[in-house]
Amino acid sequence: MSDKMNRRAFLGMTAAGAAGVVLGELMGKANNFLPTEKASASTLNETLDFYGAHQTGVVTPAQNSANVAAFDVTTNDVKELRELMKKWTEMAATLMAGKPLAVEPQDGAFPPTDTGEQIGLDTGKLTITFAIGASLFEKDGVDRFGLRSRKPAGLTEMPIFHKDSLEDQLTHGDIVVQACSDDPLVCFHAIRNLSKAARGVAHLRWQQTGQLGVKAEGTKRNLFGFKDGTANPALQDETFMKNNVWIDAGDGASWLAGGTYMVVRRIHMRIETWDQQSYSSQENIIGRQKVSGAPMDGKAEFDTPQFAADAAGKVTPLDSHIRLSNPRTGENSERERILRRGYNFMENLDSVGRINAGLLFVCFNRNIQTQFESIQKRLTNPNLPDKMLSYTDTTGGGYFAVLPGVTSKGSYLGQALFE
């Protein structure tokens, strides 16, 4: 909709959400993100190359399913951490190529190298994206791995915004991995085997799965029933990506050039409460027409709302989601724009029997403070908060720096940082 965003019992959930974060238009212009309903076998088995200047999973068209997992690093030895990144690099390249992690037959005296649940499945355009959190550089005032001086100024811990309900055990993390594929089991297999390989060096902190749903065409919808992705930039817009997504060597941390900043938030939707709202109330809360996706003063989905001609908010309420997320005030609005990559999640009932569902919000931006945070602070301004805050809840999340791509075999993730 946006025109711009119990430790063990909850290990299957991401700490990613924020009441009022940009629920809107997460997924990109209609066909940029959505798979076709009847994909051919060759399409389902398409593999993407792990190697390149940028990591995959950022401007890659979104696959059907996602699994986002955060890890806490348990070692104090930077050499062990570096070896893990080397091992993960090789594993990711192998998994994305659709190859097994071990040659059969494996030694029967030891646990299998590859857990095997993906055998016989197509890769579904698997992408695996790696990013690191501020706590990898410094935690409780301690320079954990001698990297504190290299921490980018823009990489902070995600703050608590107005009406957030963040839980510590579901928030932050030293490393986050995003696995996306058209097959959820392929995503699970990737995260499972990366976690298995990290044993003794890092362990899972939180995990969240999500899915888009399969449809032939058109902008996908979120669980409030509204189109979600109308105002996202086209993935082929290289100028936008250069200006608003990819980090440049001159941005303050040269080792991060070619990477980007990633925001992950788990937004729980209060489904039962939302379902009691009238049709017109729902449209006024979002600021769009429910079926067509058009702005309140428009006729078609991609029409631009004319907020200047509606200064009093009689057509599109001043506290509607799309109006606060993108007031359309010219150059500032363009500089704030982010690249969203979100997924719906639908899980078991919560502890009091309510539907446990919502949005796994993921976005990428070149500068968190001037892009995502600028939007989020407007949405959560106590003086005029986003009306949708009454129907969403936030349990956690995190800010992460997506590492630059690995350009060739023999190199590894984060090499410029460690060496």
Of 368, 365, 371, 304, the residue nearest 336 (C-alpha): 371
Instruction: Look at residue 333 in the predicted model and tell me its pLDDT.
Output: 84
344 touches 308 (CB < 8 A): no
Which pair of structure tokens corresponds to residue 311?
A: 């200064």
Residue the block writes with tokens 């029409």? 303
Contact 166, 395 (CB under 8 A): yes
Q: Positive or negative CA dihedral for 223, 208, 156, 235?
A: negative
Cβ distance 395 to 350 under 8 Å? no
User: Taken in order 119, 89, 12, 391, is the CA torsion positive or negative?
Assistant: negative
Contacts of 5 (CB under 8 A, 6+ apart): 21, 22, 23, 24, 26, 263, 265, 325, 338, 340, 361, 363, 372, 375, 376, 379
Cis peptide before 105 (omega within 30 of 0): yes
CA atoms within 13 A on the CB side of 82: 12
> What is the C-alpha separation between 234 and 241, in angstroms, rounded?
9
As a whole number of angstroms, the distance between CA 130 and CA 256 comes to: 13
Query: Using CB atoms within 10 A of its CB, is residue 401 exposed (0-12), middle (13-18) or buried (19+)?
Result: buried
CA–CA separation, 63 and 415 (whole Å): 28
Burial label for 199, CB within 10 Å (0-12, 13-18, 19+), is exposed
Tokens for 349?
Answer: 């009932």
pTM of the model: 0.89
pLDDT of 89? 98
pLDDT tens track, the chain, 419 positions: 445 444 433 334 433 333 333 444 333 333 333 333 444 445 557 999 999 999 999 999 999 999 999 999 999 999 999 999 999 999 999 999 999 998 888 888 999 999 999 999 999 999 999 999 999 999 999 999 999 999 999 999 999 999 999 988 889 999 999 999 999 999 999 999 999 999 999 999 999 999 998 765 678 899 999 999 898 999 999 999 999 999 999 999 999 999 999 999 999 999 999 999 999 999 999 999 999 999 999 999 999 999 999 999 999 999 999 999 999 886 678 999 999 999 999 999 988 999 999 999 999 999 999 999 999 999 999 999 999 999 999 888 999 999 999 999 999 999 999 99
